[in-house]
Amino acid sequence: MILGVMADDFTGATDVASMLVRAGMRTVQVIGVPRDAAPAEVDQADAVVVALKSRTTPAAAAVADSLAALRWLQAAGARQFYFKVCSTFDSTPAGNIGPVAEALMAALGCEQTIACPAFPENGRTVFRGHLFVGDELLSDSGMRHHPLTPMTDANLVRVLQAQCRQRVGLLRHDQVAEGADAIGHQLAALRAEGVALVVADAVDNQDLMRLAAGAAHLPLWVAGSGLALGLPALLAERGWVRLDEQAAQLDRLDGAAAVLAGSCSVATQAQVAHWIDAGRPAWRIDPTALARAEPVVAKALSWAAQQSQVPLFYATTDAATLAETQARLGVAEAGALVEQALAAIAQGLVAAGRQRLVVAGGETSGAVVQALGVHTLRIGAAICPGVPWTQAVTAPDRPLLQLALKSGNFGGPGFFAQSLAAA
C-alpha cells in the first residue's frame, strides 16, 4: 500500500477512490479509522481511502480523527498522503479544511502543501483563486443554500486563510499553464515568502496533470478528487505501483435495488424530479412526521415490499421548504431525523433481500453505511465522474451488497436510472 487518503466525508471518499481506480490503482475504502489490524483487502490494495465524517464536526474532533487516520495509514505502509476535501470546498467558518490541513502538515513535517478542489469534469474549476461551479461563482451557486455548509465566498484564498494560522497564497493559472518545472519554482518562491498553503488554479484536466507533476515532491496534497487523476501515473513512474487495467472489477450482481435520497442539492432535486416524472415509484420522507415520531420507516418499508419496480425514498426538497423545516425543527435536528430514517429504511431494505442501493447525499451515505455495518468497500467502475459502484467487503457467508454513494451535487438528471443500468 502506497497512497493514503483521508477523506472528510463518505461520498468524497468514494469519489477520490473512483479516480484512482480509473487510473489503474487497486483501491479500497475503509469507513472510519479501523480499530483492528488492516483487513486483508488493504494489503492487496495500492491505495487506501479512509472515509471520515469530519467535514462538519467541531474542528478539534476533525483534527483528531484525521491524525488518527494518518497514523493508521502510515502504519499500513502509506508513503504519499492526500487530504480529500469537497470540490465545492465545503467547510464552516471554523474549518475544517484549514485546521486539518495544518495538523497533517505538522505531523508529516511538511512545510508546504497545495489546496486545489478543482474537478473540471464535474464543472468545478478554480481561476485566480475563485471557485466556479459550472458557469457560476461558488457563492452564486446552489451551494450558498447548503443545509450544513453554506458557501457564500468564492475566493478560496480568503476562505482558507480564515481557517488557517499559517499563510495562504495563490498559484495562478498562468503559472500552472507553464508546466511542472515552473510550478515547482513558483511553489519554492511562495515558500520563501512564507506561504505554507497554496491554493492552485486549474480549469481543465491538463492543468491538474501539470499541477500533480509540479507538486509531486510534496508529501501531502489537499484537494478535491480531480487532482488524484494525475497521481497514479506519477507513482507508477517512481516505481511505487504497477497500474492494473482490472482495478475496477467487482462481482456481477443482479439482486434487487433501491434508491435513497437525503440530499437537497440542486442536482439531487433534479434527479428526484426526473425519477417521479418518469412515473417510477417514489416515497417522500416527511421530517415533520418524523419529528412527531410517526411510524414513517415501517410504512415506507411496507410500501417498498409492494413495488415491482425499483423504489425511491427521498427527503429531498427545495431550498425554501428546507429553510422552513429547519427553522421549525432545527438544522441539526432535522438533518439527524432524516438521516436516521433513511438509514433505518436502508437496513430494512437489505434485511428484505435488496442487494444494490443507490444513495444520494454525503452525510446521508455516511449514515446509511454506518447503519448497514459496512466497514470496507472495494471500488468499482464509475457511473459518472466521481461516483463509482462499490462492493461491501462482507463475511463469506453473507449476501453480497453493492452501493453507489453519490455526493448531492453530482450526476445528471437521469443518474438514478443510469446507475441501476450500469450495475
Q: Residue 268 Cβ, how far from ligand ADP at the closest point, in Å?
A: 6
Q: Which is nearer to ligand ADP, 79 or 145 (CB)?
A: 145
Q: Residue 296 Cβ, how far from ligand ADP at the closest point, in Å?
A: 12
Q: Residue 312 Cβ, how far from ligand ADP at the closest point, in Å?
A: 14
Q: Residue 175 Cβ, how far from ligand ADP at the closest point, in Å?
A: 32
Q: Residue 228 Cβ, how far from ligand ADP at the closest point, in Å?
A: 19
Measured between alpha carbons, how far is 97 from 55 in angstroms, rounded to an integer? Answer: 8
Q: Which is nearer to ligand ADP, 175 or 325 (CB)?
A: 325
Q: Residue 147 Cβ, how far from ligand ADP at the closest point, in Å?
A: 4
Task: Quickly count: other Cβ atoms within 10 Å of residue 131's Cβ.
Answer: 28
Write the DSSP string, 319-371: HHHHHHHHHHH-HHHHHHHHHHHHHHHHHHHHHTT--EEEEE-HHHHHHHHHH
Q: Which is nearer to ligand ADP, 240 or 283 (CB)?
A: 283
The H or E element containing residue 244 is none
Q: Which is nearer to ligand ADP, 97 or 338 (CB)?
A: 338
Q: Residue 87 Cβ, how far from ligand ADP at the closest point, in Å?
A: 11
Task: Quickly count: other Cβ atoms within 10 Å of residue 55's Cβ.
Answer: 25
Q: Residue 180 Cβ, how far from ligand ADP at the closest point, in Å?
A: 33
β-sheet bridge partners, residue 199: 115, 170
Q: Where are the alpha helices (DSSP H) in 129-278?
A: 156-161, 173-177, 180-192, 205-214, 231-237, 266-277
Nearest alpha-carbon partner for 313 in 301, 305, 324: 301
Q: Which is nearer to ligand ADP, 4 or 335 (CB)?
A: 335
Q: Which is nearer to ligand ADP, 263 or 355 (CB)?
A: 263
Q: What is the DSSP letter of 92?
A: B
Q: Residue 9 Cβ, how far from ligand ADP at the closest point, in Å?
A: 7
β-sheet bridge partners, residue 404: 358, 389
Q: Residue 408 Cβ, how far from ligand ADP at the closest point, in Å?
A: 2
Q: Which is nearer to ligand ADP, 34 or 58 (CB)?
A: 58
Residues that bind ligand ADP (CB under 6 A): 147, 262-265, 268, 287, 315-317, 322, 325-326, 334-335, 338-339, 361-364, 407-408
Amino acid present at 82: Y
Q: Which is nearer to ligand ADP, 335 or 388 (CB)?
A: 335
- The number of angstroms, rounded, from the C-alpha of 167 to the middle of its chain's C-alpha atoms is 26
C-alpha cell belonging to residue 410: 453530482
Q: Residue 10 Cβ, how far from ligand ADP at the closest point, in Å?
A: 9
Residue 234: exposed, middle, or buried by beta-carbon count in 10 A (0-12, 13-18, 19+)?
Answer: middle
Q: Which is nearer to ligand ADP, 53 or 378 (CB)?
A: 53
In sequence order, the 6+-apart residues with CB closer than 8 A to the CB of 400 are 251, 253, 255, 355, 391, 392, 394
- List strands edge to edge, sheet with 124-127: 124-127, 130-133, 136-137
Q: Which is nearer to ligand ADP, 91 or 316 (CB)?
A: 316
Write the DSSP string, 112-163: -EEEE--BGGGTEEEETTEEEETTEEGGGSGGGG-SS------BHHHHHHTT
Q: Which is nearer to ligand ADP, 218 or 371 (CB)?
A: 371
Contact 190, 198 (CB under 8 A): yes
Cis preceding-peptide flag for 96 (omega within 30 of 0): yes
C-beta nearest to ligand ADP: residue? 408
Measured between alpha carbons, how far is 109 from 244 in angstroms, rounded to an integer? Answer: 32
